[in-house]
Amino acid sequence: MKVTVTVNGTEVAAELPDRTLLVHFLRDVAGLTAANVGCDTSSCGACTVLLDGRSVKSCTLLAAQADGRAVVTLEGLADGQGDLHPVQQAFREEHGLQCGFCTPGMVMAAVSLLTENPDPTEAEVRTALEGNLCRCTGYHNIVRAVLAAAGERRTR
C-alpha cells in the first residue's frame, strides 16, 4: 500500500508491504536511523518518536497508521541553526547518555513529557520515563537532565 507521512516537516511517500512497522519506515525508507529497535515487545522505548506531537513507540505502529500524519524524530528536534533543543542541551550538560542507544527514544519521551507537564517533580519524571529503558546511566543523570530542561524552559 502507499503511505505518506510528514517526517520532520518533509513529506515522505512510499509503496510498502502492509505489515511495515513505522520504525522500519523511518529507518529504511526515510533514512533516519536515530530511532532504534531495542526489543520486540514494546518494552524498551528506544524507538520513541512524536506522532502529531505525542510520543509513541514506533515499533508498535504500522507505517500505515501514520499515513497522513506528522512524525518528528530526534533528527528533527534541533532548530537546524546549530542550537540544540533544550532537552538535548540538558542531556549533554548533565551527562544523561552513555552508549547513546536509548537516547533518541529517551529524549523524545522527555520532550513529550514536558509538553504535557512543563513542571514535573522528580517522581513524575521517573514515572513518565518508565517505558524507556536505559542500561548505562542508572537513570540518575537522565532524570536530572529532564528536570534541568524543565527549569530552562521556565526561565525562558
Q: Which residues make up the interface to another protein (CB under 8 A)?
A: 17, 19-20, 24, 27, 31, 33-41, 43-44, 46, 74-75, 77-78, 84, 88, 91-93, 95, 97-104, 107, 122, 125-127, 129-144
Residue placing its CB nearer to another protein in the complex, 68 or 139: 139
Beta strands (DSSP E) in the chain are: 2-7, 10-15, 48-51, 54-57, 70-72
Residue placing its CB nearer to another protein in the complex, 66 or 146: 146
β-bridge partners, 67: none
Quote the cell numbers at residue 154: 521556565
Residue placing its CB nearer to another protein in the complex, 6 or 98: 98
Q: Among all chains, which residue has been given the C-alpha cell 529497535?
A: 37
Q: How far is the CB of 107 from another protein (least distance, A)?
A: 7
Q: How far is the CB of 30 from another protein (least distance, A)?
A: 13
β-bridge partners, 21: 62
77: Cα within 13 Å, side-chain hemisphere: 25
